[in-house]
Amino acid sequence: MNILQTIKDMFGSKKHLVAMLTILIVALNKKLGLDLEGNEVTMIVSIAVALIIGQGAADFGKGKLKAEFDHDIKSIKENRENE
């Protein structure tokens, strides 16, 4: 995999997008005129972490489901060849 593809994949990732937006909001809090207090920043970061963990769990589930599906397809093909 080349670097350009890796960068495209990162920016296509929901987890990466949430992390980058959260970092930008926290880092540019004052410049954007948001004037968020510490507890508000903590809440935003907590929500972002929950979203990232949830998306990671969903991605893991998709990977597991795909592996099971691929295994089932392979078994079906082998059974048909043996008939």
pLDDT at 43: 95
**How far is it, in rounded angstroms, from Cα 30 to Cα 77?**
60
Q: Is the pTM of this model over 0.75?
A: no
Nearest to 16, CA basis, from 52, 54, 68, 57: 52
Q: Count structural domains, the chain.
A: 1
Range(s) of the domain holding residue 42: 3-82
Q: Provide the residue-wise pLDDT of the chain in tens; the chain has 83 residues.
A: 577 777 777 777 888 889 999 999 999 999 989 999 999 999 999 999 999 999 888 887 776 667 776 777 777 777 777 76
